[in-house]
Amino acid sequence: MPQREPDDGRRILSRCNKMLRNDEEVQLHSVRTGHVNYSESTESVKPLTEEERKLQMEKLQELLQQKKLQREAKEREEELEREKQRRRQGKDIVSAKAKFEEDEMKRLVEQRRREKEEDRAYRERLKADIAREREEKKMRERGEAAAAPYSKPTLPPQATKSDATVCRLQIRLPTGQPLKYDFGANEPLSAVRLYVCQHWPNGSDGLDPATVILFTTFPKRDYTEDDMQTALSDLGKFSKDWSRYVVETVLHPSLPTNT
C-alpha cells in the first residue's frame, strides 16, 4: 500500500480558494495559473501518497518545460521581426537617397535646358539688333531717316560674387520643406549637422548628431565624421543662389533616433 507523506498540519490557500498541501503544489499551481498570492489555512487536507507526489512532480516538470519552449519560440519570433524592421528601415533610407539623387538630376537637366533656351533667345535678339544697326547705318549714309530707334541688346544679369563671410545653404530633409540658413564662412560642417538636428520635423527633443548623415549629390560626396571640423570656407560652399549648393540628409540605419 502506498505510503503517505507526514501531515504537518500546514495548509496553503490560493487566491482562487484552492487548497494546496505543500510548496510543490504551490509551485505547480503558480505555473498553471500565474497566481502569486497565497495564505495559510488550518483546514484539513488529505496528504499525498509518495506515488501521487511523484506524479505531481512530473506534471510540474512538464509544465515548466512547456513554458520554456513557449518563451524561446516567442523570443525567436521577436528577433526575426526586429531583423525584418531593420532591413525595411535600411531599404527606406536607400530609396530616399536614390530619390533625392534622381530629383536633383532632373532639376539640373531642367536648369541646363532653360539656360540653353535663354542663351539661344539672347543670341537671336543680338543677331537681329546687329542686322538692324547695319541697316540704319546704310540708311544714314544715304541720308534716309532710320525706321526705328536703335536699342542695344540687354545683357543677362551677371552673377554677383558671394559674400566672403557668409555661406548660404539649402538643406533637404527626407520629408517636408527644405531648410535654408546663412552660416558663417568659418563655421565647421558640424554646425550644419547640429542645425539639422535642432530643426528635424517632429523632433521636439532634437536628434543625436551621430544619427544624421550629410551628403551632396552634385558634386557627389558623402561627408564623414572626419569632415565635421572642416570650415565651410574650405569646403567651398559659397553662393548667393540657394539652389547652387544643396546639402541633403538621411538618418543612419543602425542608430536610434529621438523622433
The answer for residues whose C-beta is within 8 angstroms of residue 147's C-beta and 6 or more apart is 135, 136, 139
Beta pairing class for 11-14 and 19-20: antiparallel
Structure confidence at residue 79 (pLDDT): 94
- CA neighbor of 132 nearest in space, from 149, 118, 156: 149
Structure confidence at residue 7 (pLDDT): 46
Residue whose C-alpha cell reads 533637404 in the numeric block: 172
Q: What is the Cα–Cα distance from 43 to 45, expressed in whole angstroms?
A: 7
CATH numeric code, 166-251: 3.10.20.90
Cβ density class 9-40: b for 16+ within 10 Å, e for less = eebbbbeeeeebbbeebbbbbbbeeeeeebee
Report CA-CA distances (Å) from 23 to 4, 34, 68, 193. 16, 15, 21, 61
- CA neighbor of 214 nearest in space, from 176, 168, 254, 174: 174
The answer for residues whose C-beta is within 8 angstroms of residue 112's C-beta and 6 or more apart is none
Structure confidence at residue 15 (pLDDT): 54
Q: What is the Cα–Cα distance from 224 to 208, expressed in whole angstroms?
A: 15
Structure letter (DSSP) for residue 91: H
Structure confidence at residue 71 (pLDDT): 92
Structure letter (DSSP) for residue 185: T
Structure confidence at residue 65 (pLDDT): 92
H-helix or E-strand spanning residue 38: strand 38-41
Report CA-CA distances (Å) from 193 to 186, 197, 213, 243. 15, 6, 8, 19
Q: Is 169:247 a contact under the CB 8 Å cutoff? A: yes
Structure confidence at residue 44 (pLDDT): 56
Cα angle 35, 40, 44; round to 5: 110
Structure confidence at residue 30 (pLDDT): 73
Q: What is the mean pLDDT of each run of 10 residues along the chain (259 residues)?
A: 45 56 69 64 66 86 90 94 90 85 88 88 87 90 62 48 69 80 88 87 74 82 89 68 58 49
